[in-house]
Each structure stands twice: as structure tokens, then as C-alpha cells.
Amino acid sequence: MPGVIALMGSGETAPGMTKHHRALFERAPEGPQLLLDTSYAFQVNRKQMTEKLLEYFDVSLHQQLTPVAFPRTTTAGPVEKELVRRQIAGASYLFAGPGSPSYALRHWRDLDVVPALRQLLDRGGVLTLASAATLTIGRATAPIYEIYKAGEEPRWLPGLDLLGQYGLDLAVIPHFDNAEGGSYDTRYCYLGEDRLTYLEEQLEPSTTILGVDEHTVAFLDLGEMTLRAEGRGMITLRRHGATVHVPAGTIRSLDDLVTTAAALAQLERTGATDERDPLAVAEELARAGGASADLLAQLLALAASHRSPDLTDHIETLVALRQRARDDRQFAISDGLRDALLALGVEIADAPGASTWNFTARR
């Protein structure tokens, strides 16, 4: 069975992340466990970075990783490249982390690392990527340093597209909820809303942005084709400003999430959803448990302007989903559904264990 890819938004060596690393080592089969240094190999403190990471895994997790040095292709001959590829392909666990995504891409592409990573995953291995390395795995990669630090025009680089083999057309962005800027916007790995919106327009229509909050892990189980969110924040799927959220502690089908993100993107662009009943789409999103309240409100408002003769079946389902969210203490979802239904002209009366509803006079 295919293995697991873990995408960490940041804080890979923070105390709160240790339990997530431990779960990954428990999933990994027997075999070599590696630390690949390429993403930060250009830094003058490369040796110290490696030592710090090895110490974390040793002291906090009692795991002795083997460092694999592949700093640059210009100093590596064909024999060295083949040895590194064989090490990666035969590993049970591989970690790559902070640094520069564009630097890592340049040298990993020349190394032809993707077939080796696929062999690792096909054998049931675990690939853990953090920060810069996380950015490289999708179809497109944002060169963060060049944009944020050097002021270059926002653009995408071709990514490793390791996920494409599994039917996932994604561009991954860590540090999704970054707030270091204080009074200015540093979300989305320091890109901010304006630059991310500009970049979204350059993506292929089929590509979805997968955002990973800081101190958060996206566990992609390639055998089950599920995404599990764990940690302090959440996972976000985004297309053209439309978002679907996966709260920490929840598991979602990858296919369902990407389909939902596409439906939301269609709504954002055209105000329609491929001629589907917008209330039916709202019901679908509510079932998924991750759509933001404002987008649910938009769908229900659209339904209100094109009401079918009988909305009862959909409304009954939405009210029941809201009750389930309340029972599960997912109050942001339940409150969003309540407000969105009210905008449609549906008033809810809550009672212990059940809720009733009626159309308001505005209907």
C-alpha cells in the first residue's frame, strides 16, 4: 500500500509537533531513516542546521536519522547522484525541511529525485516535508525568497509534481496563517492576499492551493486517499479566493475536498455552479464540514434569489447538519449555517437535543 506524505506548515522542531513526528515514525516500515539537507545547503551554517535537526530527532524522538548531503549538482558527478537516489529510494522515512524552495527545486530536479521518492512511497514509506521543502512538492512552487525578500514579480516555478501521480493537482503553501507582519499582511508564506490573488490567476484552472497553517500537519494518506489535519491550525483548500477548511482533528477525502474547492471557485467566478442548484451545493459543502460561513451565506443568498417551489428537503438537511455541528461543538460551522439560513428567510429555534425551523415573514 502507498505510504504517507506529511506536510508541515512550520515549527517542525517545536515541542508541540513531537507527537505528530512520533505518529509518522510509527507508520514507517523498517528501513533507513534519512535527513536530506539540500533545501538549506546553500547556508553558511549548513553543518549546524544538520546537527540541530539530528539532535532534535535523537533527543525528542529517540530516532537516529542518517544525514544525506546533496548541496548542489555542480559538485556532484553521476556516481554520487546515483548513490543519493538509491539511498532515497530505499529509505523507510525521509525528512527535508527549511531553506529555499527554489534552491531545493533546482538541485532536486537535476538529481531527478522524483522517481526515487515515488519508490519510497510505493514501498509504504513516509515522506515528511517542512517549510521550504513543503513548497516544492506540488505542480507549482512559489519562489518565496525572490518575491518577498528581493522584490521580484510574483510568479510560479514548475514544482516536483510528486502528487500528480496520485491525481492531486496542487500548489502547496506553508505558513498559511503567518502573522509576523503585524500591521501588514504576511499570510500565505509572507505573500499576503494581494500577491496570492495575483498568483492564483496564473495557475492552471485545475490546480488547487493547499495551505498549511503554522505548527500544523497535513497527513496525506496515499493508500486511503485521505487528508488528516493535526496541530494548532487548519488546512485550507483555495481556488480564486474561495476556500474550504479542514479543522485540526478531522479527516477528509482528498477527492471530495478538491471537488468542493472547484465548485466554490466556479461560484466565485460566475455566481453559478455549473447550473447546479446552489442550495444543493450548500448542502454538499455543509456535509463536508469545512466550507467557510461566508461562502455558505453566498450560496444560500444565491438560492434565495432563485428559489425553487419547495426548498423543504434541502433546509431539513441543513438544519440537521447544523444540529450535528452544535452537538460536536463546532460552533463556527453551526453559527455560519444559522446566519446563512436566516439570510434565506429560515428562522431556527434551538432546544435541547433538537431544533425546529420556520420561514420568516420575509419569505
- What CATH code is carried by the domain that includes residue 221? 3.40.50.880
Domain that holds residue 328: 288-359
Statement to judge: residues 44 and 101 lie in one domain: yes
Confidence category of residue 47, pLDDT binned at 50, 70, 90 = very high
C-alpha distance from residue 102 to each of 5, 94, 180, 246 (Å) = 20, 20, 22, 28
The model's pLDDT over 165-182, given as tens digits with 9 standing for 90+, comes to 888 999 999 999 999 998
214 with 10: CB under 8 angstroms? yes
The model's pLDDT over 271-329, given as tens digits with 9 standing for 90+, comes to 554 455 666 677 777 766 656 666 666 666 666 655 554 667 778 877 887 888 888 88
What's the total number of domains in the chain? 2
In percent, the amount of the chain with pLDDT more than 70 equals 86
Do the domain assignments include residue 93?
yes
Statement to judge: residues 294 and 251 lie in one domain: no
Statement to judge: residues 76 and 210 lie in one domain: yes
Do the domain assignments include residue 272?
no
Give 304-361 as a DSSP string.
HHT--S--HHHHHHHHHHHHHHHHTT-HHHHHHHHHHHHHHTEEEEEETTEEEEEE-T
Statement to judge: residues 298 and 170 lie in one domain: no
Asked whether the CA dihedral 118, 119, 125, 128 is positive or negative, the reply is: negative
Do the domain assignments include residue 161?
yes
Cell representation of residue 23: 505518529
Instruction: For residues 140 and 142, give the distance between their C-alpha atoms in angstroms, rounded to a whole number.
Output: 7
Statement to judge: residues 250 and 302 lie in one domain: no
The model's pLDDT over 320-362, given as tens digits with 9 standing for 90+, comes to 878 888 888 878 778 878 887 887 788 888 877 778 888 875 5
In percent, the amount of the chain with pLDDT more than 90 equals 61
- Mean residue pLDDT of the chain comes to 88
> Above 80 in pLDDT, residue 45?
yes
CA 65, distance to chain mean position in Å, is 26
The model's pLDDT over 210-244, given as tens digits with 9 standing for 90+, comes to 999 999 999 999 999 999 999 999 999 998 888 88
Statement to judge: residues 176 and 299 lie in one domain: no
**What DSSP state is assigned to residue 92?**
S
Statement to judge: residues 81 and 205 lie in one domain: yes
Taking alpha carbons only, the member of 156, 186, 185, 183 closest to residue 172 is 156
Position of cell 546533496? Answer: 70
